[in-house]
């Protein structure tokens, strides 16, 4: 086994070296070792990929669909994404030069951030939020300006954004939004997005909108900021959550042709193109599987109601999530504010795995995230265990 030469130690990319591994995964790995634990930690659908989507992937392999695809994506996939976005989000993207299919929304985020940002730029990020954004922004040489939204029920208001931009002065280039939000499940109302769009335009900024959970909303309508300011928005999404396809790794980014051309370059440097049969599956999902997320949505909504009611009964305060599959619950005062300590104790003593809120940036301290992409039985059992744990402690 080769050991790194002593004279090479400490010489790798310092920006990368400075990044800590994902708090969520590190915590998950630690609690996974506990025998008998039920985990509500990782954000991944527990459903199967729809059968017709699987068949499309199989057919593609059998047809020897095994050559380099066009870098941006196969025409049938790009057309399917374009039509889907037009029909469901009211935004018109030309499949020929305004959309790139990517290896998950993750690659779309990497390619978009590296295409836009220069050293010294600033990116406004409302928090708590999906923690991947922080190391990615740092790797580009830009700085993340975390904006704690906990005082506004985890929504970045236009007034708050305006205050932040006044304070930061010049240098902010991008506002990075994710709604429905991981980890809070909050959905942004239309008026809030319109207000944010105005502020973003006034300050000559880009918006990056990660809307990967937008097919999983409960009782509210999803609006896209891309439909309001398409000329300055990069729309990012994927099929991991909507069609339970996390392992396929399929996402996409859409926006003005000029920026998409740069993202195309970055995407080509990173991966060349998305895997052929994955593209075939994605085209099938978006063309003939528009209703697939509705079935998932029904199940998640029932689970959401169950877990929200259960947690409230136990004394947790929380803003009811309108989308995704997460609940972000405030730890009752008598248990203190140390969310990492609380989550660790919960894992060890009650055998319930949750994610400490501080893993999601400023404003997440004192909270825990519970993912309800889990069976009804597991959710009920976790609520029972959490209740018994709190009774014993409190």
The residues binding ligand PMP (CB under 6 A) are 43, 104-106, 130, 178, 182, 210, 212, 238, 240, 246, 251
Q: For ligand PMP, which residue has the nearest CB? A: 104
Least distance to ligand PMP from the beta carbon of 4, Å?
Answer: 30
Whether the Cβ atoms of residue 240 and residue 208 lie closer than 8 Å to each other: no
CB of 109 to ligand PMP, least distance (A): 7
| CB closer to ligand PMP, 142 vs 250 | 250
CB of 371 to ligand PMP, least distance (A): 10
CB 182 → ligand PMP: shortest distance, Å? 4
Dihedral of the CA atoms 19, 20, 24, 30 (nearest 10)? 160
C-alpha to C-alpha distances, 315 to 45, 283, 339, nearest whole angstrom: 27, 45, 16
The distance of closest approach from Cβ of residue 256 to ligand PMP in the complex, given in angstroms and rounded to an integer, is: 21
Nearest to 363 by CA among 138, 193, 24, 125: 125
Which residue carries 């836009």 as its tokens? 116
Closest CB to ligand PMP among 136 and 164?
A: 136
In angstroms, what is the minimal distance from the CB of 152 to ligand PMP?
19
Q: Residue 3 Cβ, how far from ligand PMP at the closest point, in Å?
A: 33
Longest dimension (CA), the chain: 62
* Closer CB to ligand PMP, 161 or 209, in the complex: 209
Task: List the 122-127 sheet strands across, edge first.
Answer: 99-102, 251-254, 233-238, 206-210, 172-178, 122-127, 143-148
Give the pairing of strands 233-238 and 206-210. Answer: parallel
Which CB atom, from 249 or from 264, has the smaller least distance to ligand PMP? 249
- Closer Cβ to ligand PMP, 73 or 251, answer by number: 251
For ligand PMP, the closer of residues 90 and 247 by Cβ is 247
Contact 82, 104 (CB under 8 A): no
- Closest contact distance (angstroms) between CB of 335 and ligand PMP is 27
If the CB atoms of residues 210 and 339 are measured against ligand PMP, the closer one turns out to be 210
Query: Taking a C-beta distance cutoff of 8 angstroms, is the pair 120, 140 a contact?
Result: no
Nearer to ligand PMP, 263 or 350 (CB): 263
Nearer to ligand PMP among residue 130 and residue 316 (C-beta): 130
What one-character-per-residue DSSP string does 330-357 give? EPPGGG-S-HHHHHHHIIIII-EE-EEG
Residue 125 dihedral angles phi and psi, to the nearest 5°: -130, 110
Contact between 232 and 104 (Cβ < 8 Å): no
Comparing C-alpha atoms, which of 356, 351, 357, 333 is closest to residue 389? 351
- Say what the alpha-carbon torsion angle 83, 98, 250, 262 is, to the nearest 10 degrees: 180
Q: How far is the CB of 240 from ligand PMP (least distance, A)?
A: 3
Instruction: Specify the DSSP element, H or E, that contains 370.
Output: strand 367-371
């Amino acid at each position: 086994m080769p050991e790194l030469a002593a004279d090479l130690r400490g010489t790798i990319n310092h920006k990368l070296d400075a990044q800590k591994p994902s708090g969520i995964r590190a915590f998950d790995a630690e609690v996974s070792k506990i025998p008998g634990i039920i985990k509500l930690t990782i954000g991944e659908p527990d459903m199967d990929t729809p059968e017709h989507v699987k068949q499309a992937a199989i057919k593609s392999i059998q047809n020897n669909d095994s050559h380099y695809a066009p870098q941006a994506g196969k025409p049938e996939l790009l057309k399917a994404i374009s039509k889907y976005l037009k029909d469901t989000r009211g935004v018109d993207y030309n499949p020929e030069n305004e959309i790139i299919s990517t290896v998950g929304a993750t690659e779309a985020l990497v390619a978009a951030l590296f295409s836009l940002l220069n050293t010294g730029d600033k990116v406004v990020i409302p928090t708590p939020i999906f923690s991947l954004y922080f190391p990615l922004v740092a790797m580009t040489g830009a700085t993340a300006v975390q904006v704690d939204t906990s005082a506004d029920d985890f929504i970045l208001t236009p007034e708050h954004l305006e205050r932040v931009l006044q304070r930061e002065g010049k240098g902010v280039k991008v506002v990075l939004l994710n709604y429905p939000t991981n980890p809070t499940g909050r959905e942004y109302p239309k008026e809030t997005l319109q207000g944010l769009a105005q502020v973003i335009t006034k300050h000559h900024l880009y918006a990056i909108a990660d809307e990967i959970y937008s097919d999983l909303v409960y009782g509210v309508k999803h609006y896209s900021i891309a439909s309001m300011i398409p000329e300055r928005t990069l729309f990012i999404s994927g099929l991991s959550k909507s069609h339970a396809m996390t392992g396929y790794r399929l996402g996409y980014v859409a926006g003005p042709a000029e920026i998409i051309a740069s993202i195309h370059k970055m995407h080509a440097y990173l991966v060349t193109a998305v895997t052929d049969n994955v593209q075939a599956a994605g085209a099938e999902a978006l063309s003939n599987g528009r209703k697939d997320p509705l079935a998932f949505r029904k199940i998640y909504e029932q689970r959401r109601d169950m877990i929200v009611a259960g947690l409230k009964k136990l004394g947790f305060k929380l803003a009811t999530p309108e989308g995704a599959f997460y609940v972000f619950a405030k730890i009752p005062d008598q248990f203190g504010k140390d969310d990492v300590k609380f989550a660790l104790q919960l894992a060890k003593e009650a055998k319930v795995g949750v994610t400490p809120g501080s893993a999601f940036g400023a404003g997440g301290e004192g909270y825990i995230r519970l993912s309800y992409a889990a069976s009804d039985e597991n959710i009920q059992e976790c609520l029972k265990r959490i209740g018994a744990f709190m009774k014993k402690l409190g």
